[in-house]
Amino acid sequence: CPRWEEEKMADGVKWKQLEHRGPYFAPLYEPLPDDVQFYYDGKPLKLSLATEEIATFYAKMLDHEYTTKEIFQNNFFNDWRKEMTPQEQKIIKHLDKCDFREIHKYFVDKNEARKALSKEEKQKLKEEADKIQEEYGYCILDGHREKIGNFKTEPPGLFRGRGDHPKMGMLKKRIMPEDVVINCSKDSKIPEPPAGHKWKEVRFDNTVTWLASWTENIQNSLKYIMLNPSSKLKGEKDWQKYEVARKLKDVVHKIRAQYQADWKSKEMKKRQRAVALYFIDKLALRAGNEKEEGETADTVGCCSLRVEHIKLHPKLDGQEHVVEFDFLGKDSIRYYNKVSVEKPVFKNLQLFMKNKDPGDDLFDRLTTVILNKHLQNLMNGLTAKVFRTYNASITLQEQLKALTNPEDNVAGKLLSYNRANRAVAILCNHQRSTPKTFEKSMQNLQSKIDAKKQQLEKAQQELKKAEDEFEDAKDAKAEANVQKKKKLLERLKEQLAKLNVQATDKEENKQIALGTSKLNYLDPRISIAWCKKFGVPIEKIYNKTQREKFAWAIDMTDEDFEF
């Protein structure tokens, strides 16, 4: 039987046996060669090893826009000075007098040299990496050899953060064995720490699925080494996630009827909860947790929206009751949207905003805790995220039904698939900035299209010529030649159509990130059923890693699957 259908364990128990080698630690710092210098105020300055290492982090990023941002520069310089020797602190007082250019050039050259390695040398490096993967990248879980997701600790460096994160540029410290908690089974071979070191702690906790954990120093958040998405445990969890979202399908009408009734409730608390739930359902907003002031970027979700984040327009662009949203969501991604809402929602928002300052909470009687407790009462396992998963999956399924033309060739069907996926990404606000290489790759594609058009014209002329020759000769050889030229013309037409589809797809996709929803919000069974129904190879939708992640779905889905 497939391994996700093996015997179920007692509640809360995730495994009986877990054995692994522990994390693979980032390699130690290699000092710069003597002829690569750091300059301060125009003069070369030999740095102590710890100070030099941190200088290389900044030097490597010189051509990145991060190092032009003041907040990044200040945070870096602050943290760098803390690690300097007292003598260095006396000399190095201003970042703008520091010259990292020689160090930067050294790393650029090193990178180029690595790219220029011969095939054999690259193969040798790959074999070394594979050896580490073999040794550290697998664990034994209940008798199965399972792949580990990220078995290496993050190397030290400078924190980047997304958007305008207040902590960008701060020093991410090196993770040592003394920082790491190991989790494995009691009777297993407990991993050995690197020589001369010891683990922070060894645990035998079979109610969690992580293998090792540590606290990173910037946000004080816990980092984990987890199983690879293709593993049995992760596959089961993924499957359950979509099953919960499918359960919502049966009760969503009831939930909608209830929150619509609550818009008229006598209790302000209920009204706010009902409007927030409407946003989460209709716009797939995230719930938005409370956060420590000043600790993190100022990002919000539905429950933490402030008055300044929305504008109300009784009429706008020919629509009534329009709410204009403008705020920074998760990872500092801007959410900007103008939505026509139901009249009672609009009236309630006017009420919620009355006598409030721009910085006041829109839903002042609501927290994510209150909201999620309410959702849990409506349906077991229901959270705001389940709404996102449900609405994303249902949108994909409906869009695929509406957009797919069974007569199209595979390229045409894939364009329809990507358009359906785009509808979901737009709903979930999964944006990206236009890739740096976009213009260039678009030009390359255009030249391919132009070349193909010329080939097509030439083929049309040759067909005409062949037909004329057949008119004159009327023999079998001339007839075969006409058929040959016709086939070539058909093939070229098909190739041109395919290139045009690619160009359309690329253009429509330049500012939308399809991957996030494809991996996290869309039930893979919808896509697999669509592939089987319309004769599209699954590998056109999911690459090898994704097919491993969704092996559970590929195993169990036929073309009639309905979300």
Per-residue pLDDT of the chain (563 residues; tens, 9 = 90+): 455 555 566 678 889 999 999 999 999 999 999 999 999 999 999 999 999 999 999 999 998 888 999 999 999 999 999 999 999 999 999 999 999 999 999 999 999 999 999 999 999 999 999 999 999 999 999 988 999 988 999 999 999 887 778 899 999 999 999 999 999 999 899 999 999 999 999 999 999 989 999 999 998 889 999 998 778 888 888 999 999 999 999 999 999 999 999 999 999 999 999 999 999 999 889 888 765 555 566 788 999 999 999 999 999 889 999 999 999 888 778 888 898 999 999 999 999 999 999 999 999 999 888 998 999 999 999 988 899 899 999 999 999 999 999 998 888 898 899 889 988 888 887 777 777 788 888 899 999 999 999 999 998 998 888 888 888 877 888 888 888 889 998 999 888 888 888 888 788 777 777 777 888 899 999 999 999 999 999 999 999 988 988 989 998 888 999 99
Would you name the residues annotated as active-site residues? Answer: 521
Residues in Cβ contact with 385 at an 8 Å cutoff, skipping those fewer than 6 apart: 286, 287
Please give the CATH number for the structural domain made up of 3-24+138-225: 2.170.11.10
What pLDDT sits at residue 113?
Answer: 93
Amino acid at 12: G
CA distance 431 to 210: 30
What pLDDT sits at residue 343?
Answer: 94
- CATH 2.170.11.10-classified regions of the chain: 3-24+138-225
Contacts 24+ apart (CB under 8 A), 286-294: 286/329, 286/330, 286/384, 286/385, 286/388, 287/368, 287/371, 287/372, 287/383, 287/384, 287/385, 288/368, 289/368, 290/367, 290/368, 294/166
State the maximum Cα–Cα separation within the chain, in Å, rounded to a whole number. 97
pTM of the predicted model, to two decimals?
0.73
Phi, psi dihedral angles at 337 (to 5 degrees): -155, 140
- CATH 1.10.132.10-classified regions of the chain: 392-556
- CATH 3.90.15.10-classified regions of the chain: 234-382
What pLDDT sits at residue 479?
Answer: 84
What pLDDT sits at residue 291?
Answer: 56
Q: Indicate the angle between helix axes 524-534 and 384-403, nearest 10 degrees.
A: 10
- Where does 51-189 show beta strands of DSSP type E? 98-99, 138-141, 144-147, 157-158, 171-172, 181-183
What pLDDT sits at residue 555?
Answer: 85
Please give the CATH number for the structural domain made up of 392-556: 1.10.132.10
Under 8 Å between Cβ of 181 and 212: yes
Superfamily of structural domain 234-382: Topoisomerase I; Chain A, domain 3 (3.90.15.10)
What pLDDT sits at residue 111?
Answer: 92
Under 8 Å between Cβ of 142 and 15: yes
CA distance 73 to 67: 6
What pLDDT sits at residue 393?
Answer: 94
What pLDDT sits at residue 295?
Answer: 53
Least Cα distance to 383 among 470, 306, 277 occurs for 277
557, HSE (Cβ side, Cα atoms, 13 Å): 22
Task: Give the 3-state secondary structure of residue 215.
Answer: strand
Per-residue tokens: 235: 């596959």
CA distance 289 to 281: 17
